[in-house]
């Protein structure tokens, strides 16, 4: 935007977005649309890495299409698909392979198919669970008893693990629910908040006396959310990077993007804010959207509002990594008609889950090859931070050899790490977020966005980024700027 080094024009009509992941990128996109109509508005997007998109990145190597981060999003949450359509990616949206059915759970070296009728984290029907062979006879009987378990009257907050054990039994939690919830959050169900992670389950218990009874009722009602897509998860045919690229194109002429740049200081300057950058610049702005993880936002905001920073630091994070391995199809002796499998914590494995990318989505590997992604590390087993790539690859190969019988050396391998990449919605999370939002409302010009607060999925991040952008614009209007 023709702005040089040193102190930049102290105009109040400026919004700075810190963090170029999908949250910050979406915020910048919405702000760019306003710049098209209001040339006096200036917008900066600051990203510490050499690219935008955060965890969303697609690698194309030797015919393999490998996602560095998420490879799908939930079809029932509309924000990501709506944004794709707005950006002209309608023809890129694809469901997961319709012929592939479900996923598996690894137990004592054997894979058991998840029973049909799973709704989110828990079973919605008992009959499929009885015939799955996943649980012992006693475990199945205990799970079937959910229908008769009395609703909990205590008002104290309950963990995901506590709720499921109470209603379905310990075995159902350990081998059915725990690996699923850990697969999403990488956390420990004994600490994750039911209110934050799955509030609909609590509501069903309170309204119907039983979750199974509540699910039966919801299937009959018009409020049952059904997406227009034939599978629960959808993606982009050419890879998730297409979404990042499609957002970048329209913001290029309206937003100044600074890559490889850190915010090293944030302070109050009159009614505005001053951001000191690692490149020597100092930007004075009316508003700043911190689209970073809460722990990073805490360090930035500390000089402006120490109480807010303290509350942000109470949100914990865990690290994990994805090891992508490609094999010749003939070297994979076991064919699974599923998306992959999850590994319960009780198995004692470093493996969180394994995704069979070529069974899940088309075009992920060259002809005659398969692509797998092994996820390593979880709360209490955070091996992803310091373990060398070679050791992570060895762990992934051992997992595939043990479970799927793949003994050959892969023709392709890649490690993607997510250091402190997953926020943990632990007990008290919603109260923490309420306090944080109140403190933000008392901190003029500061806005928070991202997956640390009210949802970890792609659609959640898009919604959060858009909300922050619109709030920042309203704030500028209130200043009369």
333: CATH: 3.90.660.20
Contact 279, 261 (CB under 8 A): yes
Has residue 8 been placed in a domain? no
Residue 172 lies in a domain: yes
Tell whether the model's pLDDT for residue 481 goes beyond 70: no
What average pLDDT is seen over the chain? 91
3-class secondary structure, 103? coil
Domain with 34 in it: what CATH number?
3.50.50.60
Give the C-alpha distances (Å, rounded to integers) separating 347 from 105, 109, 174.
11, 9, 10
Per-residue confidence (pLDDT) for residue 426, from 0 to 100 = 97
Rg (CA), the chain: 23
Confidence bin at 19 (pLDDT 50/70/90):
very high
**Per the structure block, which two tokens stand in for 332?**
């994979």
Position 76 in a domain: no
Residue 270, pLDDT > 80, answer yes
Contact 325, 413 (CB under 8 A): yes
Comparing 143-147, 246-250, 412-416, which segment has the lowest mean pLDDT? 143-147
Q: How many CB atoms lie within 10 A of CB 468?
A: 27
Residue 385 lies in a domain: yes
> Do 48 and 123 reside in the same domain of the chain?
no
pLDDT band of 218, cuts 50, 70, 90: confident
Q: What is the pLDDT of residue 11?
A: 54
Assess whether 183 and 211 both reside in one domain: yes
What share of the chain in percent tops pLDDT 90? 72
- What is the residue-wise DSSP string for 288-325? EEE-S-HHHHHHHHTTT-HHHHHHHTTS-EEEEEEEEE
Asked whether residue 341 falls in the same domain as residue 399, the answer is yes
| Residue 122 CB partners (closer than 8 Å, separation 6+) | 164, 168, 176, 177, 201, 211
Of residues 128, 175, 169, 132, the one with CA closest to residue 147: 169
Structure tokens at 33: 């649309």
Work out whether the CA dihedral 380, 382, 386, 389 comes out positive or negative: positive
pLDDT over 90 at 231, yes or no:
no
Query: Residue 271 has what pLDDT?
Result: 87
Do residues 133 and 201 both lie within one domain? yes
Cα(178)–Cα(353) distance, integer angstroms: 12
Judged against a pLDDT cut of 50, whether residue 4 lies above it is answered with no
Q: How crowded is residue 245: how many other Cβ atoms within 10 Å of its Cβ?
A: 15
Within a domain: residue 369?
A: yes
What is the C-alpha separation between 164 and 189, in angstroms, rounded?
Answer: 10
What pLDDT score was predicted for residue 116? 78
Residue 181 lies in a domain: yes
Three-class SS of residue 472? helix
In terms of domains, do 119 and 214 share one?
A: yes
* The total number of structural domains that make up the chain: 3
Q: What is the pLDDT of residues 37-85, one digit of tens each?
A: 988 999 999 999 999 999 999 999 999 999 999 999 999 999 999 999 9
pLDDT, tens only, 397-409 = 999 999 999 999 9
Do 175 and 323 fall into the same domain?
no
Residues 307 and 436 in one domain: yes
pLDDT, position 5: 37
Whether residue 40 is found in the same domain as residue 161? no
Residue 405 and residue 329 in one domain? yes
Mean local confidence (pLDDT), 382-404 = 92
Q: What is the pLDDT of residue 219?
A: 62
Q: Identify the pLDDT of residue 8.
A: 45
Q: Provide mean pLDDT across the span 443-464.
A: 97
Q: What is the pLDDT of residues 123-149, one digit of tens each?
A: 777 787 777 778 899 999 999 898 899
| pLDDT recorded at residue 16 | 98
pLDDT in tens, 311-347: 999 999 999 999 999 999 999 887 777 889 999 999 9
Q: What is the pLDDT of residues 275-313, one digit of tens each?
A: 999 999 999 999 999 999 999 999 999 999 999 999 999
Domain that holds residue 31: 14-54+241-315+426-479
Higher pLDDT, 164 or 117: 164
Last residue of a domain, one of 220, 251, 270: 220
Q: How far apart are CA 453 and CA 464, in angstroms?
A: 9
Convert the pLDDT of each residue in 72-130 to its tens digit. 999 999 999 999 999 999 999 999 987 777 789 998 878 888 887 676 678 777 787 77
- pTM for the complete prediction? 0.93
Residue percentage of the chain with pLDDT more than 70: 94
Q: How many residues are present in the chain?
A: 481
Which pLDDT value is given to residue 119? Answer: 65
Domain boundary residue, one of 398, 423, 448: 423
Residue where one domain finishes, among candidates 423, 439, 465: 423
The CATH number of residue 138's host domain is 1.10.3110.10
Is residue 69 one of the residues assigned to a domain?
no
């Amino acid at each position: 935007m023709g702005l040089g080094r040193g102190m930049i024009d102290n105009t109040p009509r400026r919004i700075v977005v810190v963090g170029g992941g999908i949250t910050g990128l979406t915020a910048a996109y919405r702000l760019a649309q306003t710049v098209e109509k209001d040339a006096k508005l200036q917008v900066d997007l600051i990203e510490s890495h050499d690219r935008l998109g955060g965890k969303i990145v697609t690698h194309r190597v030797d015919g393999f299409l490998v996602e560095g981060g998420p490879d799908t999003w939930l079809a029932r949450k509309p924000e990501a698909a709506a944004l794709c359509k707005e950006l002209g990616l309608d023809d890129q949206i694809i469901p997961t392979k319709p012929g592939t059915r479900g996923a598996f759970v690894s137990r004592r070296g054997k894979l058991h198919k998840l029973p049909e009728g799973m709704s989110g984290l828990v079973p919605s029907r008992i009959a499929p669970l009885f015939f799955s062979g996943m649980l012992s006879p006693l475990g199945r009987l205990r799970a079937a008893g959910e229908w008769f378990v009395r609703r909990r009257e205590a008002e104290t907050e309950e963990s995901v693990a506590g709720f499921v054990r109470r209603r379905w039994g310990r075995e159902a939690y350990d081998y059915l629910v725990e690996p699923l919830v850990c697969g999403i959050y990488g956390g420990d169900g004994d600490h994750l908040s039911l209110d934050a992670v799955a509030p609909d389950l609590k509501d069903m218990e309170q309204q119907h006396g039983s979750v199974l009874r509540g699910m039966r009722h919801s299937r009959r009602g018009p409020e049952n959310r059904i997406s227009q897509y034939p599978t629960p998860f959808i993606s982009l045919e050419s890879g998730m990077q297409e979404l990042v690229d499609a957002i970048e194109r329209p913001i290029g002429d309206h937003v100044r993007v600074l890559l490889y740049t850190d915010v090293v200081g944030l302070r109050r300057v009159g009614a505005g804010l001053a951001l000191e950058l690692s490149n020597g610049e100092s930007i004075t702005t009316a508003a700043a959207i911190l689209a970073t993880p809460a722990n990073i936002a805490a360090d930035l905001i500390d000089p402006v509002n120490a109480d807010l920073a303290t509350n942000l630091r109470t949100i914990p994070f865990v690290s994990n990594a994805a090891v992508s391995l490609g094999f010749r199809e003939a070297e994979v002796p076991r064919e699974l008609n599923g998306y992959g499998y999850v590994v319960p914590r009780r198995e004692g494995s470093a493996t969180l889950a394994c995704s069979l990318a070529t069974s899940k989505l088309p075009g992920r590997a060259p002809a005659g090859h398969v692509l797998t992604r092994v996820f390593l590390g979880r709360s209490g087993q955070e091996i992803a931070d310091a373990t060398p790539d070679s050791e992570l690859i060895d762990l992934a190969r051992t997992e595939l050899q043990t479970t799927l019988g793949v003994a050959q050396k892969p023709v392709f391998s890649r490690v993607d790490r997510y250091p402190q990449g997953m926020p943990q919605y632990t007990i008290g999370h919603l109260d923490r977020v309420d306090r944080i939002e109140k403190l933000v409302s008392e901190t003029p010009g500061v806005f928070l966005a991202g997956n640390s607060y009210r949802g970890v999925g792609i659609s959640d991040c898009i919604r959060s980024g858009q909300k922050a952008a619109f709030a920042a614009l309203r704030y500028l209007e209130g200043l009369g700027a």
